[in-house]
Structures are given as C-alpha cells and as structure tokens.
Amino acid sequence: MVACLFLLSIFFVHHAVGLNDHCSKSSCGMQGPPVRFPFRIKGRQPLHCGYPAAGFDLSCTEKSHTVLELPNSWKLLVQAIDYEFQEIYATYLDGFCLPRRLLFNSNLSDISPFFFMDGLYYSYNLFNCSSQKEHYSLRPVSCLSDLRYHVYAISSHASFQDLVPLLSCSKLHNISIVAEYVSIHRKVLQLKWNSPECSYCEAKGKYCRLKSNTIVSETECYGIIKPTKGSAIKFMATG
C-alpha cells in the first residue's frame, strides 16, 4: 500500500513538472524574445499558459517575427519583453499611424491592458494645411499627410500667437497622446502592464502563473527560470 502511494505521488509530481515545463517559455525564432506567462503564443502554447485577458496572446509571422495584437486591432512587432519590470518594446508595422488610431481610441489603457511608459498624455489639436508650415510650436504628422496637404499637431494650450501660422488651415480633431509619439519620428513604442503582477517572481528568478481555484488576477511563483543564451533583457529604444 505504501509502495502504491509512493508511486502515485511520483506520477503526480512528474505530471506537474511536465505541465510547468510545457508552459515555461517559447519563441517565434532564434532572435525573438522569449515568451512566457502572462503572454503565450497562439497555436504553440495552451490557453492556461497565458493570462486570460485580451492583449496577452502573441502570434508568429512567416518570417518568425513576434506580433502583439491589441483589442483595437493594433498590430505591433515585439522586439523585447522585460518581465521583471513588466515592460514591452514594440515597433510599428508598415502603414501604422498612431495619431490616426488615437482619433478613434483616445487612450490606450481604455482598450487594452497596456499603457505608455514614457510619460503623461498631452492634448493636441490636429490641423490640415494646404501648404507646409514652419514654426517651433508645430509638430508635423507625416503619416497623416501626403503631397496634397500637410497635417500638424499643436498643443491645445497654445497661445494665439502660436496659432497664427494655422489661420489658413482647417482643424481636424483633438487627440491625447504622449508627446514623444505625436510626430511618429520615434518608431519604438514602450508599453507597460500592471496586471497580472509577476515582477516579484521574476526578481527571484522564478516563473509566474495564476493560482488555481482563486480570483483570476492572483498569481504565484514556481520553478526556476533558466537564462536563454544571447537573449537581451533590455531593448534600446531609439528613434
């Protein structure tokens, strides 16, 4: 009887370890960021390997790029994930225009688990001009412009003197955006998430997962994370 219980306990321990290993990490390619909880790669990792909320399911392209798709149909290429500080670094796909997206969804955190980590949101007015304008207070928005017209952003709190160059232009819309992203000169988005909280596990070098039979956001630590050779934890965000 004791021998049977011993063998049974070994089976359950082995099964649990195998399940944890199955969820430990994956990636879209040799150069891609390691993917583990709260993220998972759709089609490669089971549902329980990721956090059950929109925005944490990643996918792989045919060229082995890692794609983050947010609930508002934003698609970004993931360059790096810092699990300890809960930060994700992503670049734009071709044709992506952040100011255009914000015309319909003014705050990223309202529609996804992420928020910009760079600073405070500022209010800008967008103006459509038939000719190019040059003024220190104007920020050209190239992804909304073409050969026929030019779009500029200016602070909603700008003085009348700063608005003078725009008197011949038409106002389009008002958006709230982090100042660094308004002109789209910067190609890297730095995003953060607060929930689920796994930074304390990562700081200990352990994996993180949801607790069973408890509220969805409660997590626990387990196992030991094996470092991936050559993988970069930090990503240098440059324009």
Q: Dump pLDDT digits (tens) for 177-218.
A: 776 676 655 568 888 999 999 999 999 999 999 988 766 678
Domain count, the chain: 2
Give residue 190's pLDDT. 87
Which residue stretches of 151-192 are H helix? 160-163
Considering only CA atoms, which of 55, 81, 113 is closest in space to residue 202? 81
Question: Same domain for 89 and 42?
Answer: yes
Considering only CA atoms, which of 62, 51, 49, 54 is closest in space to residue 20? 49
Which residue range forms the structural domain that includes residue 81?
A: 17-97+187-222
Question: Same domain for 79 and 133?
Answer: no
Question: Same domain for 196 and 161?
Answer: no
The identity of residue 91, as a single letter, is T
Report if residue 121 sits inside a domain.
yes
Per-residue pLDDT band for 89 (boundaries 50, 70, 90) equals: very high
Report if residue 235 sits inside a domain.
no
Question: Same domain for 208 and 170?
Answer: no
Give residue 17's pLDDT. 38
Classify the C-alpha dihedral 47-51-54-59 as positive or negative: negative
Question: Same domain for 75 and 191?
Answer: yes
Give CA–CA dist 41/47, Å, rounded.
9
The identity of residue 188, as a single letter, is V
pLDDT in tens, 10-63: 333 333 334 444 686 899 988 899 999 999 999 989 998 999 888 899 999 999
| H or E stretch covering 20 | helix 2-22
Report if residue 232 sits inside a domain.
no
Report if residue 233 sits inside a domain.
no
Report if residue 75 sits inside a domain.
yes
Give residue 16's pLDDT. 37
Sheet holding 150-155, edge to edge: 139-140, 150-155, 121-129, 170-178
Which residue stretches of 47-127 are H helix? 98-102, 108-111
Give residue 107's pLDDT. 65
Residue 51 near residue 58, CB atoms below 8 Å: no
Question: Same domain for 63 and 161?
Answer: no
pLDDT in tens, 159-168: 999 999 999 9
Give residue 180's pLDDT. 67
Question: Same domain for 21 and 92?
Answer: yes
Give residue 24's pLDDT. 66
Give residue 157's pLDDT. 92
Report if residue 237 sits inside a domain.
no
Question: Same domain for 30 and 91?
Answer: yes
